[in-house]
Structure 1
């Protein structure tokens, strides 16, 4: 059923219906209540909630004068002495500014307005408020939007005291401006997360279990992989034995998931971008609801709709559905969301900027099943229930997942995985790193296939798809998915995925964990790490930085920097200017930034990003990912199964040993696959592509491309443009595509298809098949028993030596006999459906009979009608022509031309 619209909650009071800045669910003695807060000109609203019931208004209150609410408006509930209050902002009271809260009664009504704490004079305004009961007292945490300070107030809702204003090692405020706050953990493990909205940096602070005092622990920012802009929302959830922070950013139209460790370390685990299939562009609001380890995440923004996700155990967001705005839904410019579990129902409340008021949605969860996974190296069978299960293959053995009845989600694992969904609308999720996956009961139109975890997969053109009736095989890099359908329909890309993928774009994770950095100076520094996980910032100057052991994060900053990661899974960022980065052993991430950079991954599965400038990237050993970016870049994968993207302008990409995937993208690129079964895509521009040993797949893309193949059974597609495709040894398939193409098969039994345009095709040695396609084409079979199809247009067809079969197709075609080959034995050729009436001509060489004869004499001396009723010209010595469809020799001479 999915999310269902329930009702629109509007009061008709513009001060309370508009500028809704926060929605919270408070759990009171009388049950769940939705409390909504507006900007400073409005007030608070309280609604009683229940399963299968439209939210009922309980009470409203208008703010007193001179109230200022923060960017998030309402803060988390503050409870004390049997009461609950909601902190919502601050106001002047003659002696400064006081943080205010509104008491909530047990039935959801509003009581007295309470002053929770007084702001120091240096504080301009609070941007966020969160609270917890610590050491027997209510403790309120506030962020100063002007100075970047964090404030801690302790009170019994009577006598607050400011106890801490955390600073960095240099005495400066850790935050640069407005921030979002959230608390995770409890007792001695409690931490405060502060998300700097301007800088897009997430900080963690330990909270003293007795006093509430803060001490800085870790930071995750753009230099380390959290690439966000215009941050708008922060939500946290504990599930699957971990704690996650979910970040929405309007500027990058993104959702990011960060795993927060108990020691304050933060690990970026997912980062997705809005697409045409989702509706969280310009993201403003995020909300989380959970039933055990079933975690639901809703997000919306300026995209006129909202998207619902499931949070998987590794922190990945799985797109479940998207609701697009329609009249009456109130999903225009979504600003705030709040979700809650009521009985067996998820209720979602949405505040939009356009209509005002609050929209109520509901999702039936009565059939939720289990969350379960396999593990270990042995083969395992995991069976679901009759409900909606989440089943995951986590072991390295040959696992089998069987969903049973219900709408199940099944995730493949690193080993060979067999997945059976069973009855219901199931989702088969192919995890990154999966090898062979078999889906045995895919129901077209009901089940879904989700490939969003596969890195850099953006469209079906990147997939190798073998489609059949009731069966399909998909290949992407080292992942192979074999699908058997429940009905005998053609499982092509359209039936599997529709016109576009229905999931958000997922970016690769470029970093892992961070601590507060070691910093250099504005001068040229030489900085070294330790055997542990170091964070080193070079700042200005031409710096030399070595991480040594551990999973290090090195940032060069401005200047011509040299960075060496050493052993460990390192993250290196060069910054501006011409930098040199070397990862060393381990799975490293290298980002050159601006300038003409040199990047070397070393041993391991590395990710190299050149950025703007003329960069040189070399992955070395391992399965590496290389992104050239802007500029004329040179990329070399080294041994291993590598993935390379040239980016814009004229790039060079060289694959080396291994099954590599190369994308030239825009520009006139030069690409070489190296040994292995490679996949090479030229992209836009006039590209040169040279395959090597192995069975390679090559596409030229737009532009006048040159493609050269080598040993192996290769596939080449020139795409649009006037292309040149040259096969070699092996049974090759060459497709010219649109444009006036030139195709040469070389040795082996080749298939050549010119496509649209005036194409020239040479088969070479071997038993070749040549297809001219539309246009006036030239087809030459050369040695071997060849099959030629001229197609539409006025074609010239020459079988060459060997016993050839030639179809002219529509148009006035010229059938050439004796134009190629050795000696005078040109083979026994069959010219199918030769039609002189349509303008077909027969072009013969005089060397067949020693010359000196007219066309009429040739027909008289060598012509006959065979037992099949077709005209034959037999020149002896194994050289003959059968003209099918020509049943008489009369007038045949008029269609013959002689040369040589």
Structure 2
């Protein structure tokens, strides 16, 4: 539970008011908070103490030539074995910063030699390339991001310059690759750069299609974390009042996994800053902005944000229009340090992490502990047993039975899951999280049926059976109170959603290889679906290179692979000549190139009614000229070894998909790809 502890201040307006940045640094096991103000201000150092308010360690007022030309940012780096707090000094030619001593106190002011882009720094991040350190520096005046090798004596050598602007920047590793992720509010840009391990130079990776679908406006902060075997990016959008979660692949591609909007129940409208922290295998996300408060989330292993709590400003706190925040793990608590654009000083809020339990995913029976566990179902039938503690139980794709046990439990549903059963819902204690359900906003959208021992909830094809812990019936208000609470989750993938189609794109007619470890040119924007025998369907959308990852658990799973892909009219693969060929087939003639193959007959039956007739020719002609048609062109995928010998003009009977065995998450299959409506020689 979030608790406000105190506000701390030095008593000096120059140091307490207008704090623009906060930074954390650990020395000898102690964590120190550095706060930075702007011109005519200075730097303050606080030591964080478990169960107590921060202790003032040191202050430093700006003097000399930097007094009135310094910005409000401070980033800790290590140069030649010396820790420094780097400042943004807009008239400098090199990197300017204060030495940091091993007791957290502030030492001498230093400046490196001249940098290629100057010392006007809008963002800075340090990373390690084997035995060498590298700095990525966004030079505000030049519109470039420079990378610099850190020499043994603390000097910097230019590696290269890349076009880009950033006011927030982080480094992260994914697989064997090292990446820099940046955000810039002024240009509304979110960028990913791959770092060349040899030269230190940056190469931009195009993630336009992934980012544009999220609708992020004015990105004010980007944070990264490596957890659950993946690398994650979280972006704060001030004008969109949003937080966006994306998984970073080992090739630098961003895969959106969640996008949440502020509501009356949360406190991140006009979000200004966010912070991520991993504690004992659990990831926490804190965000705040112009909403006079903060919101605390946890990140699930599949990249979704679960709302834990929001804290609103009080008469005793100073959380009006939050400027910056930092989160530290101190002993058995998270300490959240928050500064305001209006209130002076630093706010301290805490929440206990002393009882974090297991983070487990599986099938069959998944057991929790007596602590606060996070348990996830899988693609097969699963029973999640939370035990004691405040648990988070997450439905899998297969049928899932959830037993929270004692404590305040959160039951998280997943869109597209098989039926889910909750065995012991406690009114006023437990919470049901349905935000993964597409376009669900209020309980009034649900079909809620009271039963003798609880309730049954239906939404579209989703079904939840809830049994009351007390054994009696449950009303909608028992389960949801006055509403859902929490943020709004916006879908990041509409594949398979009735009435909506994924983006059409060109494909490859004929035999193709499907492999989850490579690019797949014929699968661009396709929906990849795998249904294990006796389990629920796992579905993902391939990117613009046809790459996909079903994120399957380890082990071998037999089942069926299906692929859904819509037709791109821009490809012009279907034309009036195709309609003519089908018309010839409908009256018993061969196509103009000779006898029709079974694949030709499948392509001709665009209506998929099992016969080839004039209605197919008409539908194809409508597609070719861009007229509305009751039968849309689409790609069908089947086993490359399927027996098609029985297909005739009056018996177009075939099955899509292929039976495969997925081993340790790797999908590999040979399939035949056919565009309905496109007649060409096979």
Q: TM-score, normalised by structure 2?
A: 0.72
Look up the match of 2:23.
24
Look up the match of 2:2.
3
Look up the match of 2:348.
360
1:16 is paired with a residue of what secondary structure? helix
Relative contact order, higher structure (CA 8 A, sep 6+): 2
Q: CA RMSD in A?
A: 3.4
Q: 1:620-699 alignment to 2 at 5 Å? A: none
**Offset of residue 371 of structure 1:** 0.4
**Offset of residue 8 of structure 1:** 0.7
**Offset of residue 204 of structure 1:** 2.1
**Offset of residue 391 of structure 1:** 0.6
Q: Is it true that 1:391 corresponds to 2:380 in the alignment?
A: no
Look up the match of 1:200.
188
Distance 1:318 1:71 in 2: 35
Distance 1:263 1:324 in 2: 40
Q: 1:687-836 alignment to 2 at 5 Å? A: none
1:854-893 C-alpha deviation (Å, 9 max, x unpaired): xxxxxxxxxxxxxxxxxxxxxxxxxxxxxxxxxxxxxxxx
Do the aligned residues in 2 keep the contact of 1:146 with 1:178 (CA within 8 Å)? no
Q: Is it true that 1:300 corresponds to 2:274 in the alignment?
A: no
Q: Is it true that 1:438 corresponds to 2:421 in the alignment?
A: yes
1:698-741 C-alpha deviation (Å, 9 max, x unpaired): xxxxxxxxxxxxxxxxxxxxxxxxxxxxxxxxxxxxxxxxxxxx
**Offset of residue 484 of structure 1:** 1.0
Look up the match of 2:74.
74
Distance 2:244 2:22 in 1: 21
Q: 1:245-264 alignment to 2 at 5 Å? A: 245-264=233-252
* Equivalent residue for 1:148, pick from 135, 143, 151: 143
1:37-57 C-alpha deviation (Å, 9 max, x unpaired): 223332211111122121101
Distance 2:246 2:433 in 1: 22
Do the aligned residues in 1 keep the contact of 2:84 with 2:97 (CA within 8 Å)? yes
Do the aligned residues in 1 keep the contact of 2:93 with 2:118 (CA within 8 Å)? no
Distance 1:104 1:532 in 2: 56
1:285/1:69 Cα in 2 relative to 1: closer, same or farther (>3 Å)?
A: farther
Look up the match of 2:593.
none
Distance 2:29 2:469 in 1: 50
Distance 2:74 2:410 in 1: 37
Q: TM-score, normalised by structure 1?
A: 0.55
Do the aligned residues in 1 keep the contact of 2:388 with 2:406 (CA within 8 Å)? yes
Look up the match of 2:114.
118
**Offset of residue 510 of structure 1:** 4.3
Q: Which runs of 5+ in 1 are unaligned?
A: 167-172, 513-526, 534-546, 554-566, 573-583, 593-618, 622-633, 641-900
* Equivalent residue for 2:127, pick from 125, 132, 150: 132
2:74 is paired with a residue of what secondary structure? coil
2:52 is paired with a residue of what secondary structure? coil
Do the aligned residues in 1 keep the contact of 2:195 with 2:202 (CA within 8 Å)? yes
Look up the match of 1:37.
36
**Offset of residue 153 of structure 1:** 2.4
1:223/1:109 Cα in 2 relative to 1: closer, same or farther (>3 Å)?
A: closer
Look up the match of 1:586.
564
Distance 2:543 2:481 in 1: 39
Do the aligned residues in 2 keep the contact of 1:153 with 1:163 (CA within 8 Å)? yes
63-72 vs 244-253, greater mean Cα deviation: 63-72
1:363 is paired with a residue of what secondary structure? strand
Distance 1:293 1:529 in 2: 41
Look up the match of 2:475.
492
Do the aligned residues in 1 keep the contact of 2:37 with 2:71 (CA within 8 Å)? no
2:271 is paired with a residue of what secondary structure? coil
Aligned length: 533
1:748-790 C-alpha deviation (Å, 9 max, x unpaired): xxxxxxxxxxxxxxxxxxxxxxxxxxxxxxxxxxxxxxxxxxx
Distance 2:30 2:393 in 1: 35
Q: Is it true that 1:458 corresponds to 2:458 in the alignment?
A: no
**Offset of residue 273 of structure 1:** 0.5
Distance 1:13 1:315 in 2: 42
Look up the match of 2:622.
none
Q: Is it true that 1:100 corresponds to 2:96 in the alignment?
A: yes
Q: Rg bigger for which structure?
A: 1
1:620-646 C-alpha deviation (Å, 9 max, x unpaired): 99xxxxxxxxxxxx9989899xxxxxx
Q: 1:213-612 alignment to 2 at 5 Å? A: 213-220=201-208, 224-375=212-363, 380-396=364-380, 398-468=381-451, 470-487=453-470, 490-510=473-493, 549-552=522-525, 569=542, 586=564
Do the aligned residues in 2 keep the contact of 1:91 with 1:98 (CA within 8 Å)? no
1:455 is paired with a residue of what secondary structure? coil
Distance 1:637 1:61 in 2: 72
**Offset of residue 200 of structure 1:** 3.4
Q: Which runs of 5+ in 2 are unaligned?
A: 496-504, 515-519, 527-539, 546-561, 571-605, 609-627, 635-682
Distance 2:415 2:301 in 1: 14
1:825-875 C-alpha deviation (Å, 9 max, x unpaired): xxxxxxxxxxxxxxxxxxxxxxxxxxxxxxxxxxxxxxxxxxxxxxxxxxx
1:86-132 C-alpha deviation (Å, 9 max, x unpaired): 1121253xxx5222111111000001112135344x66932101113
Distance 1:260 1:68 in 2: 40
Distance 1:413 1:364 in 2: 28
1:391 is paired with a residue of what secondary structure? strand
Q: 1:829-848 alignment to 2 at 5 Å? A: none
1:494/1:86 Cα in 2 relative to 1: closer, same or farther (>3 Å)?
A: same
